Structure 1
Amino acid sequence: MLAGCAPSGTPAASATAVANQGYQSGDGSTRKWAVADRSEPVALAGTDFAGTTQDLTTWRGDVVVLNSWYAACPPCRAEAPDLVAFANDYAASGVHVLGINGTDDVGAAQAFERTFSIPYPSLADTGGHAIAALQGAVPVQAVPTTVVLDREGRVAARILGLADPSTLRGLVDDVLAESATPAAGATAGATATP
């Protein structure tokens, strides 16, 4: 059984949690949204653990993978090497990865990033603003949760719990492939107006 984590006392900690451990089951299940069923673009910005401002709007036109995590979460630690490999392998394809950490202080988060040689930034989200921004578009019910955004910034897919590397790559490949074709309703030769 694969597991997701939720700090004790959070809404995600429930009867399904492992007794006194703060874990909520996340079964690695996926959900995909058809292009026509996708919500508005996710508006997400914040400061990463290095003190740099990150804003998803700067990555519009590229596929983005969001991953919620925290340092003491066993499934987060288990998937970290695969996410590092994924981020490195897909960077040349214009895919960006952004972590979201609503639990750790700077020291714990940076230690995790150093331990696993994380090549992408993670938002410091102890105020819960990033997760709240996602809740309008996609339920984030366990940590880790991985969300794939299309080139317009809309939620295209979600993995609840530990992300299987081949599943994540398949979901992102699907979004990259659909993004190579004109968007629904677009006409050949159409130009954007300012």
Structure 2
Amino acid sequence: MRGKTFKVVQWVVVVGIVLGLVVSLAACAPEESGAADVVGQGYVSGDGSVQTYDVGEREGPVTVTGTDFEGNSVDTADWAGDVVVVNTWYASCAPCRAEAPDLVELAGSMDGVQFLGINTEDDAGAAQAFQRTFDVPYPSIEDRSGAVIAGLSGVVPLQAVPSTVLLDPEGYVAARVIGQAERSTLEALIDEVLAEAA
């Protein structure tokens, strides 16, 4: 009888732990943020919601530093005076793969704009394979430790991967897209920040 009671107690404890984890994971992606758990996919996806910030309300300035997958140092301070588009991604993230061609095309066609990826999951092999597949012309910082994202999150909430942040020429956060960024939306946001600088 004691053995059966012990097994029932174990079962109740396991169910309690699982329920606690489910509740805490759901809390990581608040509904008002535009982010939602994607069951069985291993990532939190956003709905493409856009937040823009008026010049007087912008947080920052933000400087992103790190090492890219080729071993080079990257520092957005070197791009002062340009608009900077920062995009979080990892290779097996479906919306990251879907938006990659648009990011690559925009990066190759816009003057006065720098693009930077922040990879939150991959080792160099997986990240470089993704970069080759999509012919990515801009650097991506390795951030499996989460330190770079944590620094950005202190200024602009990033609840999903992918997320895209636009920094104005002074390094202040001008806009944020949670989830897959549509090309037309991103292009319009960049054009708006470029027009301010002009």
TM range (shorter): 0.7 to 0.9
Identical positions, percent: 57
Contact 2:67 2:142 in 1 (8 A): yes
Distance change (3 Å), C-alpha of 1:68 and 1:123: same
Paired with 2:135 and 2:26, the residues of 1 have a C-alpha distance of 29
- The Cα shift of 1:39 comes to 1.2
The equivalent of 2:189 in structure 1 is 171
Compared with structure 1, are the counterparts of its residues 97 and 123 closer, same or farther at alpha carbon in structure 2 (3 Å cutoff)?
Answer: same
How far the C-alpha of 1:129 sits from its partner, in A, is 1.5
Residues of 1 paired with 2:145 and 2:123: CA distance?
Answer: 12
Shift of 1:43: 2.3
Following superposition, the deviation at residue 64 of structure 1 comes to 0.3
Q: 1:146 aligns with which of 164, 180, 186?
A: 164
Q: Does 1:113 align with 2:131?
A: yes
Q: Which runs of 4+ in 1 moved over 6 A?
A: none
Q: CA deviation at 1:12?
A: 4.3
The number of equivalent residue pairs is 170
Between the aligned partners of 1:14 and 1:148, the Cα distance in structure 2 is 22
Contact 1:144–1:162 under 8 Å retained in 2? yes
SS at the partner of 1:170? Answer: helix
- Contiguous gaps of at least 5 residues in structure 2: 1-24
Residue 150 of structure 2 corresponds to residue 155 of structure 1: no
Q: 2: distance between equivalents of 1:104 and 1:140?
A: 18
Cα offset, 1:20, TM superposition: 2.5
Of residues 20, 32, 46, the one that matches 1:26 is 46
1:6-155 aligned at under 5 Å gives the runs: 12=28, 16-90=36-110, 93-155=111-173
* Conservation of the 8 A alpha-carbon contact between 2:165 and 2:173: yes
The whole-number CA distance in structure 2 between the counterparts of 1:97 and 1:26 is 20
Structure 1 unmatched ranges of 5 or more: 1-8, 181-194
Query: Secondary structure at 1:99's aligned position in 2?
Result: strand
Match in the other structure for 1:185: none
Letter aligned with residue 134 of structure 1: L
Q: 1:10 to 1:77 in 2, by over 3 A?
A: farther
Residue 18 of structure 1 and its aligned partner are, at CA, apart by: 2.7
Q: Distance in 2 between matches of 1:89 and 1:48?
A: 22
**How far 1:19 sits from its partner (Å)?**
2.4
Question: Whose helix fraction is larger, Structure 1's or Structure 2's?
Answer: 2
Q: Distance in 2 between matches of 1:148 and 1:142?
A: 16
- Distance of 2:128 and 2:118 partners within structure 1: 13
Please give the root-mean-square deviation of Cα atoms over the aligned residues, in Å.
1.8
Tell me how far 1:22 sits from its aligned partner: 2.1
Normalising to structure 2: TM-score of the pair? 0.81
Structure 1 CA distance for aligned equivalents of residues 101 and 146 of structure 2: 25
Stretch deviating more after TM superposition (39-48 or 158-167): 39-48
Structure number with greater Rg is 2
* TM-score (norm. length: structure 1): 0.83
Does the CA-based 8 Å contact 2:82-2:113 persist in structure 1? yes
Measured after TM superposition, the shift of residue 44 of structure 1 is: 1.5
